[in-house]
Amino acid sequence: MIQNYLKIKTPTLRELKAREKEEKRKLKELENKRGFCISKMDDETFKKVAHRLTMIAYSTEFLSEQIDELLDMGVIHSKSLVVDFQNELLKLIEVFIGMAMEKGEAAELQRIAQQKGYDELIRTIGSLNAKQYEALLNFAKTIKIVKK
């Protein structure tokens, strides 16, 4: 009888697939909620949050450099939490870049691009629709990247 209590139930393939599906659903729900919250922000709040995200991005880059040095010295063995955080932060910054483009806020887009660099902007270009691409082109013209 005690042996029955000590047996550990291993999940079946069906249960594993159900868990994975549920995790994907929750992640999608969280992303939709995040986008909805951002879309409800007024312009001033939007700019404040975008600025904070930019400052956090700089801080995590500095932290990542410091952690790289600690890794090289052998003091720590992994920086997976920092990498995960940076990936989530980049996703959030991409959402803000997209929202700025939709709102036509070229100044905000320019500030984010200058402070964070053009690499996130270039990654975002691949996922633009025609309207967003046109807004980006107009932005590029205003900062004299593309000739008019």
Rounded to the nearest angstrom, the gap between the alpha carbon of residue 109 and the centroid of all alpha carbons in its chain is 15
pLDDT number for residue 57: 78
Mean pLDDT of 96-121: 63
pLDDT number for residue 146: 47
In angstroms, what CA-CA distances link 20 with 12, 17, 115?
Answer: 12, 5, 37
pTM of the model: 0.42
Size (the chain), residues: 148
Can you tell me the distance from the alpha carbon of 43 to that of 41, in angstroms, rounded to the nearest whole number? 6
Specify the residue for token string 């969280």: 30
42-77, pLDDT tens digit by residue?
A: 778 877 887 788 788 778 777 878 888 888 888 877
* Residues 49 and 41 sit within 8 Å (Cβ to Cβ): yes
* Residues 96 and 124 sit within 8 Å (Cβ to Cβ): no
